[in-house]
């Protein structure tokens, strides 16, 4: 069984889908992104995943990005070029690039942030998702392992580790990880996703 992510701004909707969790910091300037919807079917409607929903509740793509969105990309690019040490601007620019499916540029900018602070779990998550969605399980796993090294009991990272294992065809490892989530973190919102994913194995 092949798994595709729906959290973040994924472009593929499949009936039997597992969800990767995208952790992002919110700030005033990012609130205009809060309505961009990444997935119409399974993305939670909480603060963590609200960043990429839009007012029309449609998934952003290269074709339907608004002129305002393109203008914001241009503004952020200029800001980053003029202030290469502004980590907030780099983060915003990378997020916009990723939502616009400009993954190479997004990876480049996220990587700049990791050079400044290698312990940025939010950035490691974003990079893991990008590579997962591109089908590069080795890189996706590399970044999610870095999250777990920093925070071994990070429930969302554990879930993602299971999704990567399932995508690779290692259903036993996926089952073990998701059962651990169900048993060890019963109060977590991610537990419901783990239960659903176990049913799909």
Q: Establish if 113 belongs to a structural domain.
A: yes
Q: What is the tally of structural domains in the chain?
A: 1
Of 183, 187, 185, 158, residue with least CA distance to 173:
158
The pLDDT of residue 64 is: 54
Cα 150 versus chain centre, distance:
18
The pLDDT of residue 100 is: 86
Q: Establish if 142 belongs to a structural domain.
A: yes
Give the C-alpha distances (Å, rounded to integers) separating 152 from 137, 145, 158, 159.
Answer: 20, 9, 8, 12
* Cα 83-86-92 angle, rounded to 5 deg: 110
Could you tell me which residue, 8 or 88, shows the higher pLDDT?
88
Give me 133's structure tokens: 């969605």
Three-state SS at 44: coil
In the chain, the percentage of residues whose pLDDT exceeds 90 is: 60
CATH number of the domain bearing residue 167: 1.25.40.10
Of 177, 171, 201, 172, residue with least CA distance to 190:
177
Predicted confidence (pLDDT) per residue in 124-175, tens digit: 999 999 999 999 999 999 999 999 999 999 999 999 999 999 999 999 999 9
The alpha-helical segments, DSSP class H, found in 47-188 are 67-82, 87-99, 103-116, 121-133, 137-150, 155-167, 171-184
The pLDDT of residue 91 is: 95
Q: Establish if 63 belongs to a structural domain.
A: yes
* Torsion angles phi and psi, residue 199, rounded to 5: -65, -25
How many Å apart are CA 145 and CA 139, to the nearest integer?
10
Q: Establish if 9 belongs to a structural domain.
A: no
What average pLDDT does the structure give for the chain? 75
Q: Establish if 123 belongs to a structural domain.
A: yes
Give me 66's structure tokens: 């608004």
Could you tell me which residue, 28 or 3, shows the higher pLDDT?
3
Predicted confidence (pLDDT) per residue in 74-101, tens digit: 999 999 999 999 999 999 999 999 988 8
Assess whether pLDDT exceeds 70 at residue 105.
yes
How many Å apart are CA 164 and CA 145, to the nearest integer?
11
Q: Establish if 10 belongs to a structural domain.
A: no
Q: Which of 20-34, 116-130, 153-167 has the lowest mean pLDDT?
A: 20-34
Predicted confidence (pLDDT) per residue in 170-199, tens digit: 999 999 999 999 999 999 999 999 999 999
Assess whether pLDDT exceeds 80 at residue 56.
no
pTM over 0.95: no
Q: Establish if 5 belongs to a structural domain.
A: no
Structural domain containing residue 98: 28-200
Assess whether pLDDT exceeds 60 at residue 34.
no
Q: Establish if 8 belongs to a structural domain.
A: no
The pLDDT of residue 63 is: 52
Of 142, 149, 148, residue with least CA distance to 127:
142
The pLDDT of residue 53 is: 43
């Amino acid at each position: 069984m092949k798994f595709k992510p729906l959290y973040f701004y994924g472009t593929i909707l499949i009936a039997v889908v597992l969800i990767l969790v995208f952790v992002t910091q919110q700030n005033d300037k990012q609130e205009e992104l809060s309505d961009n919807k990444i997935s119409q079917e399974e993305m939670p409607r909480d603060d963590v995943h609200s960043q990429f929903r839009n007012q029309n509740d449609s998934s952003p793509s290269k074709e339907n990005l608004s002129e305002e969105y393109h203008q914001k990309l241009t503004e952020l690019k200029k800001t980053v070029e003029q202030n290469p040490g502004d980590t907030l601007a780099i983060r915003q620019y990378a997020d916009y690039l990723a939502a616009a499916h400009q993954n190479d540029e997004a990876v480049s900018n996220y990587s700049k942030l990791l050079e400044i602070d290698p312990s940025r779990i939010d950035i490691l998550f974003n990079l893991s998702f990008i590579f997962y969605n591109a089908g590069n399980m080795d890189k996706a796993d590399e970044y999610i392992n870095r999250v777990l090294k920093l925070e071994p009991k990070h429930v969302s990272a554990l879930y993602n580790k299971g999704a990567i294992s399932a995508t690779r065809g290692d259903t036993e490892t996926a089952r073990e990880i998701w059962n651990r989530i169900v048993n060890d973190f019963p109060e977590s919102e991610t537990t419901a996703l783990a239960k659903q994913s176990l049913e799909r194995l």
